Each structure stands twice: as C-alpha cells, then as structure tokens.
Amino acid sequence: MQLLDRVRLTIRRHDLARPGTRVVVGLSGGSDSVALAHLLHAMAVAGELSVVGVAHFNHQLRPAADDEERFCAGIAASLGWPFLADREDVGGRARREHRSLEDAARTARHEFFGRARRHFDADRVAIGHTRDDQAETFLLRLLRGAGARGLAGMHPRRGLVIRPLLGCRRAELREYLASRGVGYVHDASNDDLSIPRNRVRAELLPLLERRFNPSIVAVLAREAELAREEWRWMEEAASEVAADLCRREGEAWRLDADTLNRLPVALARIVMRRVMTDRAGGRPVAFAHVEEALRVSRHGGGPVDFPGHRVQRLGADVVLTSRGATGEGRGATRGWPVEANFFRFPLSIPGEVDLAAGGWVVTAEPAPSIAAATSCAGVSLGGSSTVAIVQRGPCVGGLAVRNRRPGDRFRPLGLGGRRKLQDYFVDRKVARQRRDAVPLVVDELDRIVWVAGHSIAEDFRVTDPAQAVLILRLKLAGGPD
C-alpha cells in the first residue's frame, strides 16, 4: 500500500478528518512533520480535508531554534498556507515549575496548539507522530511501570489533536521526502542520550530489532492498540459502575464500600481513580494513591490525605472530600481534635516519603540478611535511633508512613505486651505538641512496624540471622544521606 493511502486509511479508520474538516498542521521542521505537511497537502488538493494553516512553536532551547522557525515559514509559503509562530523560554518554565524539560516542552507546545486552532478557526491540529514514536512511548511507559491506560500510548485522536501518521514508519517518511527532493531540519536535541526517549530510540529499539524481533516496532505499536481498546472498554464499564456506586452529598462523594470491594480489582481501580481525580481538583493522582484509597475501603483506619482531597471509611461508605471543605472532610474521626493534621503516604521498597511539614524523610531499603544490614553505620536493631532493622517477612502488603490515630496500639520492643501509643509517648516524655508529627511506619493491615526514632514493634523483631530484612531510616529533609 502506498504511503498516502496508508495515511488515508488511518484517517478514515479513526475518523480524524472528513471533507470540509479544517486542519492546522503542527510543523517542527523535522522529517516527520514536514512529510505530514506534504501528505496532507495532497489530500487537501484532492478535497479530502481542508488545511487552513501551519503552526510552529519555538521552544528557545537551541541556537538553531530561530533558523528552524524560518525554515518552517518557508515550508508553509511553498505550500501556499498561512503561517503562525509563537515562542517561550521552555527551559525557564521547567525550572520554575520543577518539571522535566520534556514535560514542560510538551505542555507549552499543546497550549500553543490550542491557541493556533482558535487563531485559524480550525477543527483539528495534526501532528507528525509515527509508528516509531508509538513503539518508543510503549517501551518508556513499560519501563516506568504502567497499566492498560499508560500502555495505550498515543491515541490517533486526543481531543482536537490528531495523529494521521501512526501507521507509518519514520524511515518511510524520509524516503518519501527524498524522492521529492524535500529537505528537513535535524533536531540536535534528539542526539542527547541523557533523555530517556532518545536512549530508547538509539539503543534499546535497535537492540530489540537486531537480537529479538526485526518487526518489534510493529509488534509494540499493535500492543499499544490492544491496550487502548481494552482501556476504552474498561472506561465504559467503569462509567456505568460509577453512576450506580457513587452519590454526592454536599462537598463529599460517597461510595458503598462493600460493592466497591466486590468489584474486579482492575475495575475498582478505575472507578476509584475517576472519583479521586474529580476530588483532587486537577492535581495528579498516582497508582500508589489509588491503591492506598482501596486499602482504606477494605480495612478502614483513619482518614488519609491525598493531593487536594481526603479519603476515609465512615460506616458502610468510603467518603472522599476536597481538602479545605468543612464537615467530615477534616477532623471527622470521633474523639480526635478537629484541627488534627492526619497524613498517610505509601512507602515503596526501596523508596522514600518526604514529610515536608515535619521536616523529615523516611526511607526503606531491602537487605538480604542482618549481616548485610548492620554493615551500615548507625543501624539499630531496636529502632531507638534514626535507623532500624526489621523483619521483612511479617510485613503484609506494602508499607506506608502515617502519623498517630485514636486507639493506636503496638508491642514496643522489650517492654512486653501491647500498649497504647498515647501511653508510650507519655512514658517516653514526648512533648504533646510533637506527638502528631512522629512518623509511624505501618504495613497494609495498618500494624505499626516502627515508631520512627523510638522503637520497632516486637512483632517485627529480627530473630534469625538469615532472615531478609528492611532498613528503615529517618533523616532530616535536605540533610545528607
């Protein structure tokens, strides 16, 4: 099948454009976007769509950026289309917003696409992502850890942005341009192997093609499509379940916990993530946040703070309330001060939790034995210092870091029997105003593993030199490791 026919097939299959659809071409000057412009020009001449302009965003990241902008203006003029350019100091934005350069560039670029669409009164903005880009995205997300939603990769259509070249290889597009004597610019940032996508493109994909499967790009792109269709099906199912399961009462969302807990785990995660995203007010909700909220649904315990909202189990319901709302969203646990600042954060192994408000960082790392662990200076078997060693085996599920809750009890090492945490703090002469800030490491069953800086629980004491252990550390935020 000819390249142009393949682009036509992608457009028809995903209903990206029709005769009369007003399209803006996003043009970077690289081979993919230049080929996109020429292919869509051929379709526009045939009356299959209408190209109303070319949009170029100058990221101001390289000395050649202004030359690339002029090159794109020349491409637009050669095809007879109006040209719109805009620019931003993306490097400065990345520093101000504490995000990666790649993420800041993507955000700024897509904001510009929205402005370009309005400027040209267009229906769609077409960009030049290829099948190679799709395979790279799949691998990147697989390496970072992703489910069906992430592995779905780039959608042929996302809002007003369309990707007509997802069925095309980058090499084919360059051959197409060469056959027509059309040039393009080389983005020198693509040579920077400190950028993960560039390492995947330059090192991992060629290795997979050479050593494992010469058709790996097609395989990965197909896997992304399968994940996308599965995700779409699950999203539709989750919409139906959420409509029956969730009810809104004032500022809070309530979900019937028993019904939620009986759902297939994959479906429960999507429903919970959807409601949490609504309550988060635009803040990102991570996989670990969803898992922790489902733990609250299954096992209860005190309220847990997440980005922009709070989740707690109240009777038969899981209740989600935006932070700052009055009522049961804050201080709703009976017998606890209304002003109490509850927190609970997942602790990965290895990993860390930054308790910015208290000025502490709690970390966890595995060790194969007590001998390996005690080779680290300052380690204490009792946990009374800022480093402790505990058995890994008795810890059920994942760990979390939280502060105290009403009724907390544990078995302090060497003191015999269970004690109220409140009484333990009194005996240890921990000042009342400091007790809420003491980090507690707990397992999935909400059992206290370590009262950080004070004592581990007897249940998690190391009893066999050959046991696998965890090293837990408490250190000042911003202090040395």
User: pLDDT per residue over 92-122, tens digit each?
Assistant: 888 887 777 788 888 899 899 999 999 999 9
Query: pLDDT-derived band of residue 377, with 50, 70 and 90 as boundaries?
Result: very low
User: pLDDT per residue over 144-171, tens digit each?
Assistant: 777 788 898 999 998 889 999 999 999 9
Can you tell me the distance from the alpha carbon of 146 to that of 26, in angstroms, rounded to the nearest whole number?
28
Every domain of the chain and the residues it spans: 3-218, 250-329, 344-476
How many C-beta neighbours within 10 Å does residue 378 have? 9
Q: Could you tell me the end-to-end alpha-carbon distance of the chain, in angstroms, rounded to an integer?
A: 58
Strand partners of residue 399: 347
Residue 400 near residue 442, CB atoms below 8 Å: yes
In the CATH hierarchy, which top-level class contains the domain 344-476? alpha beta
How many C-beta neighbours within 10 Å does residue 280 have? 19
How many C-beta neighbours within 10 Å does residue 386 have? 17
User: pLDDT per residue over 15-52, tens digit each?
Assistant: 999 999 999 999 999 999 999 999 999 999 999 999 99
Residue 481 has pLDDT above 50, yes or no: no
Strand partners of residue 306: 309
> DSSP secondary-structure letter at 202?
I
Strand partners of residue 400: 346, 442
Q: What is the pTM of this model?
A: 0.63
Topology of domain 3-218 in CATH is Rossmann fold (3.40.50)
Alpha carbon 144 to its chain's center: 9
Evaluate whether 3-218 and 250-329 have a shared fold.
no
E strand or H helix at 12: helix 3-13
Q: How far is CA 295 from CA 300, 311, 352, 440, in A?
A: 7, 10, 20, 17
How many C-beta neighbours within 10 Å does residue 3 have? 18
Tell me, what amino acid is at 241? V
Q: Which is nearest to 184 in space by CA: 30, 341, 347, 359?
A: 30
Rg (CA), the chain: 28
In the CATH hierarchy, which top-level class contains the domain 250-329? mainly alpha
